[in-house]
Amino acid sequence: MSLKQIRLSTQAKEQLIRLKTRTGITQWNILCRWAFCLSLAEPTPPTPVEIPADSNVEMSWTVFGGDCHELYHALLMERVIRDGIETTQDNLTRQFRLHLHRGISYLATPNKIRSISDLIATTMS
């Protein structure tokens, strides 16, 4: 598994569908960037659970990161190092998936994000 292609779990897909409706943001990658950064802001590492790649939502790393894909990679590297994890490709991929899915779950918490204003407010806390 590598960071070239990202496939979401069915649960994450359903959560993102609800977030798209609430925020009006129509692109998966933009919501995924918010989710990834929200998870990175947490002081603790994500729980190491198995996350299925069982949905039909897939994007390339460059679509996920857009023009800033190198910045997102650097943020991931910094976090993996800070968490004391060896920076192998498998570990980077695993940690990215864990952070992405944790962030999506945070955003999808009932009544947390009801509008784009609520999404922006997550950067203020």
Report whether pLDDT(73) > 50: yes
As a whole number, mean pLDDT of residues 18-43 equals: 94
Buried residues in 90-107 as b, exposed as e (16+ CB within 10 A): eebbbbbbbbbbbbbbbb
Into how many domains does the chain fold? 1
Residue 67 has pLDDT above 90, yes or no: yes
Instruction: Please tell me the predicted confidence (pLDDT) of residue 118.
Output: 84
Is residue 1 pLDDT above 60, yes or no?
A: no
Read off the CATH number of the domain in which 103 is found. 1.10.1220.160
Range of the domain at 98: 5-121
pTM: 0.92
Nearest to 22 by CA among 96, 100, 122, 102: 122
